[in-house]
Amino acid sequence: MHNTTENTTTIERELVAFRVAGQDYCVDIMAVREIRGWTQTTTLPHAPEYVRGVINLRGSVVPIVDLAARLGLDPISASDRNVIIITVINEQVVGLLVEAVFDILSIPASAVQETPDVASEAVKAFINGVITVEEKMIRLIDLVRILPTRNQEVA
């Protein structure tokens, strides 16, 4: 007979941790399709400022979002040292330009704490919570909010 109470009380979440503008963030690993090196993008006219352009990924056109710019930080000056995290958000494939991926975290779901009330509404719009790992505070990104809304695309 197996003791299943141990497995049911600590539901693990796996997260991909990365750095943007010198700060630590993470996303759920289930939304990550692959991590690849920086690839030059083809710019799109009238795209939001945080959309770097598009790349060809095995025959599919994938938009690349500069995550720093999307979060209201200084845009990343892309180089070969940067990476693109290919994610699936609401069935749409989107690449996130980040400085570097530094860890795959396996944490109990209870380790995700709410974003403090002192954070601005703009910050809360993109952050789903905060995780403390070895003295570091890592922000959990809400990937659905990273994509532009239909109204933003038209504007």
**Model confidence over 16-53: pLDDT tens digits?**
999 999 999 999 999 999 999 999 999 999 999 999 99
Inter-residue contact 130 to 137 (CB < 8 Å): yes
Residue 1: inside a domain, yes or no? no
Q: Specify the 3-state DSSP secondary structure of 29.
A: helix
Residue 120: inside a domain, yes or no? yes
- Calpha distance 120→70 (Å, rounded): 15
Residue 155: inside a domain, yes or no? no
Domain limits at 56?
A: 11-150
Residue 55: inside a domain, yes or no? yes
Residue 127: inside a domain, yes or no? yes
Residue 5: inside a domain, yes or no? no
Phi then psi for residue 83, to 5 deg, are: -130, 160
Q: Give ∠ CA 62-106-87 in degrees, rounded to 5.
A: 5
**Model confidence over 59-114: pLDDT tens digits?**
999 999 999 999 988 999 989 999 999 999 888 999 999 999 999 999 998 888 88
Residue 44: inside a domain, yes or no? yes
Residue 74: inside a domain, yes or no? yes
Strand partners, 32: 87
Position 133 scores a pLDDT of: 85
Q: How many domains in the chain?
A: 1
Which one-letter amino acid corresponds to residue 111? A
**Domain of 23: which CATH number?**
2.40.50.180
Nearest one of 56, 95, 58, 100 to 80, comparing CA atoms: 100
